[in-house]
Amino acid sequence: MIDALFGSKTRVKLLHLFLNSPGQSFYVREITRKIEEQINSVRRELSNMLAVGIITSDSADNKLYYQVNQRYDYYVPLKAIFSDTRLEAKNVTITSDDNSNREYGSLVRAITGVSLAIFAGVLVRDSTSTVDIVLVGDMVPAKIKVLIKHIEKNEGRDINYTVLSYDEFYYRLSVRDKFITEILNSEHSVIVDKNKILIKE
């Protein structure tokens, strides 16, 4: 039944492999061994999946490697369908930007030492940023790790985050640093701004 829904048995096997292996990459012959399908069929479906955007490719050691694109718009619902663990699939929560920002924002504000926090990327609709969270201030690293793990579990994907000191962020902002500018030029949400750097009263 699921084969008919997704077009072919090979594609279903590929989706199952990739969606249960986030962060892992595979080359073609390795994939054919893992899913036990013909190489021509695998190559054809990989090409289709690349065109859609559900996977990405990169070359290393004269081989082309493929991995799931966790920033794909439908990554979370697809992972819920293809997850090996039924419980994990049930626990995936797809929230609206407003709801997630409120929940995650409360967790961020509870971390001592945060002077600025920005959400972007997969946490903000229509954001093109490759960074999801920017945290600025003097914070305990362990607290940040707990926050990120919670968000990753709730979102069902890896979260790209950056932690900067207040002085470094302010300097980068003042010189129009490319990294900061790209985040701020994309759709984003300022969650904390204690010194009113970005939010002017």
Sorting pLDDT into bands at 50, 70 and 90, what band is 200? low
Given a cut of 90, whether residue 46 has pLDDT beyond it is yes
Q: What is the mean pLDDT of residues 136-148?
A: 94
Contact 50, 57 (CB under 8 A): yes
- Cβ-count burial 137-152 (b if 16+ within 10 Å, e if not): bebeeebbeebbeebb
How large a percentage of the chain has pLDDT more than 70? 87
pTM of the model: 0.66
Distance CA 192, CA 166 (A): 13
C-alpha dist (Å) from residue 177 to 165, 171, 183: 15, 8, 10
